[in-house]
């Protein structure tokens, strides 16, 4: 049995899969959407035949899969290639690390991988044998299986990282946050940053705008956070290691913890969370 990770493209996800290769039979599929996603959407929305197109890409990219293999799809990417995998004869598993509300909004309004009249649960989830989610409420509402957030490191790597973190001693106490720009996050930061600063903490709060490559500086209504581009996960880890407090700001309605909370545990940092 081989486990295929389909379009796990974040740098920390690729690191995790590559680390697993020494002990497990795993394969990283990170080009399933290439030459498929955009053309498939065009054919679909013009009501043109797609069966030959889908079968060709299945043969070219997925012919190595066997019935006892596991195809592990991430909740964010799957909307771009669901037609490619929904009828494959293997074990299909979906991992959700965002809430359904966030996925619906992102797929309809940002990525445009779902039409406005489509719903993520109706269009995506029926084609999977098992669905895991980090969010308690989504698990209860949609009958998903709960799976806690996870870091990309092996146990031995985590022990080493924890030991390295314990050696840091900052002359200036710092509080760190990074995450996508959302109005509720900006509001929390604007409230908590001056309190932290009054108590001698330096704040390093970063909000990322994924909607375009050009940051809309009109959003920057506060001197308490920076608007910028995405940083690598390992740059983020370095910032966590050098901070004293980690700030976690979940989405409205989110009941599952984010990676920030798990990182705070690993690196023995104080956590402020909503």
User: Three-class SS string for the chain?
Assistant: CCEEEECCCCHHHHHHHHHHCCCCCEEEECCCCCCCHHHHHHHHHCCCCCHHHHHHHHHHHHCCCCCCCEEEEECCCHHHCHHHHCCCCCEEEEEECCCHHHHHHHHHHHCCCCCCCCCHHHHHHHHCCEEEECCHHHHHHHCCEECCCCCCCCHHHHHHHHHHHCCCCCCCCEEEEEEECCHHHHHHHHHHHHHHHHCCCEEEEEEECCCCCCCCHHHCCCCCCEEECCCCHHHHHHHHHCCCEEEECCCCCCCCCCHHHHHHHHCCCEEEEC
Looking at residue 216, its pLDDT comes to 53
CATH 3.40.50.2000 residue window(s) in the chain: 155-273
Note whether 90 and 23 are within 8 A (CB).
no
Residue 34, φ and ψ in degrees, nearest 5? -60, 130
Half-sphere exposure of residue 260, counting CA atoms within 13 Å on the CB side? 24
pTM summary value? 0.86
Note whether 203 and 193 are within 8 A (CB).
yes
Taking only the tens of pLDDT, the chain with its 274 residues reads 999 999 999 889 999 999 898 889 999 999 999 999 999 999 999 999 999 999 999 999 999 999 999 999 999 999 999 999 999 999 999 999 999 999 999 999 989 999 999 999 999 999 999 999 999 999 999 999 999 989 999 888 898 888 877 666 677 899 999 998 888 899 999 999 999 999 999 999 999 886 654 445 555 557 899 887 788 899 999 999 999 999 999 887 788 888 899 999 999 999 999 8
CATH superfamily of the 155-273 domain: Glycogen Phosphorylase B; (3.40.50.2000)
Range 121-127, long-range pairs (CB < 8 A, 24+ positions)? 123/79, 123/82, 124/78, 124/79, 124/82, 124/94, 125/94, 127/82, 127/85, 127/86, 127/87, 127/92
Which residue in 21, 12, 23, 118 sits closest to 74, CA to CA? 12
């Amino acid at each position: 049995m081989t486990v295929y990770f389909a379009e796990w493209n974040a740098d920390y996800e690729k690191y995790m899969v590559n680390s697993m290769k020494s002990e497990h039979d795993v394969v990283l599929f990170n080009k399933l959407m290439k030459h498929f996603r955009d053309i498939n959407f065009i054919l679909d929305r013009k009501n043109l035949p797609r069966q030959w197109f889908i079968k060709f890409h299945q043969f070219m990219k997925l012919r190595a899969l066997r019935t006892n293999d596991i195809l592990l799809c991430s909740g964010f990417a799957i909307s771009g290639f669901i037609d490619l995998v929904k009828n494959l004869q293997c074990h299909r598993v979906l991992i959700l690390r965002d809430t359904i509300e966030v996925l619906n909004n992102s797929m309809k309004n940002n990525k445009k991988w779902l039409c406005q009249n489509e719903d993520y649960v109706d269009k995506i989830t029926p084609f999977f044998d098992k669905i895991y989610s980090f969010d308690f409420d989504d698990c209860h509402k949609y009958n998903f299986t709960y799976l806690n957030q996870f870091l990309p490191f092996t146990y031995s790597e985590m022990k080493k990282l924890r030991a390295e973190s314990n050696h840091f001693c900052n002359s200036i106490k710092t509080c760190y946050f990074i995450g996508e720009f959302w109005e509720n996050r900006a509001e929390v930061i604007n409230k908590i940053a001056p309190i932290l600063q009054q108590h001698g903490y330096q704040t390093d709060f970063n909000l990322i705008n994924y909607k375009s490559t050009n940051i809309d500086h009109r959003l920057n209504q506060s001197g308490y956070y920076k608007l910028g581009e995405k940083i690598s996960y390992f740059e983020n880890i370095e910032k966590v290691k050098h901070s004293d407090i980690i700030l976690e700001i979940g989405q409205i309605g989110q009941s599952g913890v984010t990676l920030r909370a798990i990182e705070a545990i690993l690196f023995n940092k104080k956590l402020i969370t909503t």
